[in-house]
Amino acid sequence: MKILHVLLTRMPIPPLKYGGTERVVWALYKGQKELGHDVKFMTKHQNQHPDSILYNPAQGIEDQVEGWADVIHFHFLFQGTLKTPFVCTTHNQQITPAIFPKNTIFLGKLHAERSGGEAYVYNGLYWEDYEQPNIKQPENYVHFLANAKYKDKNLKDSVDIARQANKKLHVIGSKRYCLKWRKDGKYQPYIYPGNDLKFYGMIGGDKKNKVIRNSQALIFPVLTNEAFGLAMIESLYLGCPVIGSRCGSLPELINQDVGVSTDSKSVMIDTLRNIGQFSRQRCHDYARDTFNHLVMSKNYLYFYEKVLNGHALHETAPKVTQNLPYDFVLKD
């Protein structure tokens, strides 16, 4: 099968340091190639990879993608018409009313249900890009992994939870000087004090993986309906249990063997105080076996076959009919 992936970001594939969706597309490319398919990808980033196609903004996308592929996989909500069968993956959770194309694929069962759909495939990563986990001797800290300028990533509660659990917190995705949201919904510059906090800013690759590998756990108390959360599976793969909220994908992905999903800060604090209850090997095995590039690739191939046989992935277009809950809060 000839497969074309289309992701119109300016980040490179393969990703050099940063990149979320780019890592997923790279894993799909690697997995589908391993399964014997002919795969190319189109982005706005010009590179020398032999299977990379540079998007031309001066030309309609239909003119650029038609002709070579048996199936086209858009990693955004493509609303046009094509002669070539195609699917779309939506990598975000739409929280306001919206209608999706009939061939939309979501990132999990809950993501699909919130969006009025059924078809979903879990994200996977190409784990050979990651080193092995530190199973036996993590250091005395936990980590936060997100762009902390966004209120719903909830650095504020993460700092409080770590401190009450008497754990140092290493923050990936923010500098010490960042934005703190006020009660009126606005934000102001804020410098987080304390020697128990270490800020790395935006890092990636081996440097990021080393911080995660040596951590005791990921604190992930997000306050919105995230579609998936790559930070969780990266942390699990490197041996870290996930201590998070009951928002978005967490109740679906985080079971009692690999972490907790709760709306209680007290439960998170108690869990961190007893973090040794989790097997780091089990966390690693769960991520390795469930969220890998080959499993993801095979699951997408199932949906490709459906559209190649002339079937839509949903009988009616999935839709969000009303505003979804937003800006959750944790209980003390």
Domain of 312, CATH number, reads 3.40.50.2000
Domain contains 329: no
Query: Over the stretch 263-316, which tens digit does the pLDDT of each residue have?
Result: 999 999 999 999 999 999 999 999 999 999 999 999 999 999 999 999 999 999
The whole-angstrom separation of Cα 204 and Cα 196 is 22
Residue-averaged pLDDT of the chain = 92
Same domain for 284 and 301? no
Q: Verify that 155 and 56 share a domain, yes or no.
A: no
3-state secondary structure of 295: helix
Q: Say if 328 falls within a structural domain.
A: no
3-class secondary structure, 306: helix
H-type alpha helices, the chain: 21-34, 61-65, 109-114, 155-164, 205-213, 230-237, 250-253, 265-273, 280-290, 293-308
**Cβ 206 vs Cβ 131: under 8 Å:** yes
Residue 14 lies in a domain: yes
Say which residues have a Cβ less than 8 Å from residue 44's Cβ, sequence separation at least 6.
8, 9, 10, 54, 55, 57
Looking at the structure, tell me whether residues 194 and 251 fall in a common domain. yes
Do residue 199 and residue 107 come from a single domain?
no
Residue 330 lies in a domain: no
Q: Are residues 203 and 154 in the same domain?
A: yes
Do 314 and 255 belong together in one domain? no
**pTM given for the model:** 0.93
Query: If pLDDT is split at 50, 70 and 90, which confidence band does 184 have?
Result: low
29 found inside a domain: yes
**One domain for residues 114 and 43:** yes
Distances (CA, A) of 251 to 5, 75, 242, 248, 263: 30, 25, 11, 7, 11
Predicted confidence (pLDDT) per residue in 53-92, tens digit: 999 999 989 899 999 999 999 999 998 889 999 999 999 9
- Residues in a beta bridge with 218: 143, 242
Same domain, residue pair 184 and 262: yes
Does any domain span residue 136?
Answer: yes
- The answer to whether residue 331 is domain-embedded is no
Does residue 50 sit in the same domain as residue 164?
no
- Domain holding 45, by residue range, is 2-125+294-320
CA distance 208 to 214: 10
The CA distance from 219 to 142, in Å, is 7
Same domain, 138 and 275: yes
Instruction: Let me know whether 94 and 156 are in one domain.
Output: no
Q: Looking at the 3D structure of the chain, how many domains does it have?
A: 2
